[in-house]
Amino acid sequence: MIGPAPSTIAGLAGWSSLLSDPAGALVAFDFDGTLAPIVDDPERAYVHPDVVGVLGRLGNVVGGVAIVTGRPVDSVLRLASPVGVHGLGGLVILGQYGVERWDASRGEAAAPPPPAGLAGVRDELPRLLETLSLQAAHIEDKGRAVAVHVRRLPDPDDALERLQAPIAELAARHGLAVEPGRQVLEIRARGIDKGQALQSLANEMGASCIVFGGDDLGDVAAYDAVDEMRRQGRPGILICSASAEQDALTARADIVVAGPDGLVGWLAELADQLRA
């Protein structure tokens, strides 16, 4: 890629808006696979070492910087350490697909209580995995959601396929939804997704342009939201942090980069252009 400019007509319209009015732009990103590399242990998925610095550089010139993730807010704060970073005084973290919100300006998080059905899922899930001979799968309790990771299993693709129907049935029985991801299935509350969270934040800011970067199926709703805002006349840019493991967003993106390394390089170029 030569320079950070998009390769699509819609993306070029967003690019023009971003360059002409960076102070009106909202720049938002997914966490895992986008700002942080995918690793076997989700508790050790620290951000790319240059991410926070380059986001701070952008934060000095754009209207807003946000992280929109399925992770809990406290997990992002621990793995990214953005508190007190120059340029990120207005950072917003929308955790658990927008259920949680943390504002750097206030230094506090707000969230509703966990969904009622989650306690039943926690109780039944180990037995379900044992019945399927998948007890070695990793259960991650996110407080307001529960995720089942199969990355550590000998055949994660087969395990994911075998889990899909039973997990969907378990979630539906407890009034919850299933969010698929990269070798993970997450059981969470219905009624909110990354798209709704992103659009709500963009409207709150009065953003004139939206830049969103993601890597996975959980980011499809955010892509849909940016597309809808573009149809309504608000320009935007869609970035895919691509990998050999997941290509769900590649064909829809205006810009494709090679994972977190590629994204950091693109953001550094963008920050240079905007500051110039």
* Contact assessment for residue 210 and residue 198, using Cβ atoms and an 8 Å cutoff: yes
Band (pLDDT 50/70/90 cuts) for residue 110 is confident
> Cβ atoms within 10 A of the Cβ of 192, count?
17
* Mean pLDDT calculated for residue range 186-206: 94
> Residues 197-221: what's their mean pLDDT?
96
Per-residue pLDDT tens over the stretch 3-49? 678 989 999 999 999 999 999 999 999 999 999 999 988 889 999 99
Q: Going by C-beta distance under 8 Å and a sequence separation of 6 or more, which residues neighbour residue 165?
A: none
Give the pLDDT confidence score for residue 1 in this predicted structure: 40
* 74 shares a domain with 203: yes
| CATH code where residue 173 lies | 3.30.70
142, 173, 188 - which closes a domain: 188
Residue 76 has pLDDT above 80, yes or no: yes
Within this chain, do residues 102 and 135 fall inside the same structural domain, yes or no? no
Q: Is the pLDDT of residue 67 over 70?
A: yes
- Asked if 179 and 226 sit in the same domain, the reply is no
Identify whether 1 is part of a domain: no
Cβ(204)–Cβ(151) below 8 Å:
no
Contact 193, 97 (CB under 8 A): yes
Average the pLDDT over 87-95 and give the result: 97
| Within-domain flag for 244 | yes
Q: Return the pLDDT at 29.
A: 98
* pLDDT of res. 102: 97
Domain interval for residue 64 = 9-111+192-275
CATH classification of the domain holding 48: 3.40.50.1000
What are 217-259's pLDDT values in tens digits?
Answer: 989 999 999 999 999 999 999 999 998 777 789 999 999 999 9
pLDDT digits (tens, 9 = 90+) for 132-157: 999 999 999 988 899 999 999 999 99
Same domain, 166 and 203: no
User: 101 pLDDT exceeds 70?
Assistant: yes
Residues 16, 72 within the same domain: yes
Whether 244 and 232 map to the same domain: the answer is yes
Question: Quick one: what percent of the chain has pLDDT higher than 90?
Answer: 85
Give pLDDT, residue 3. 61
Which residue has tokens 């230094």?
Answer: 107
Helix axes 220-231, 194-205, angle to 10 degrees: 40
* Domain-terminating residue out of 188, 216, 238: 188
Mark whether 178 and 128 lie in a shared domain: yes
Give the pLDDT score at 22: 97
Q: What is the mean pLDDT of the chain?
A: 94
**Does 49 lie in the same domain as 178?**
no
Residue 161 counted as domain residue: yes
Looking at the structure, tell me whether residues 122 and 142 fall in a common domain.
yes
Boundary (domain end) residue, out of 161, 188, 215: 188
Residue 166 shares a structural domain with residue 267: no
The pLDDT of residue 7 is: 85
Structure confidence at residue 2 as a pLDDT band (50, 70, 90): very low
Same domain, 104 and 126: no
Q: How many domains does the chain have?
A: 2
> pTM value?
0.86
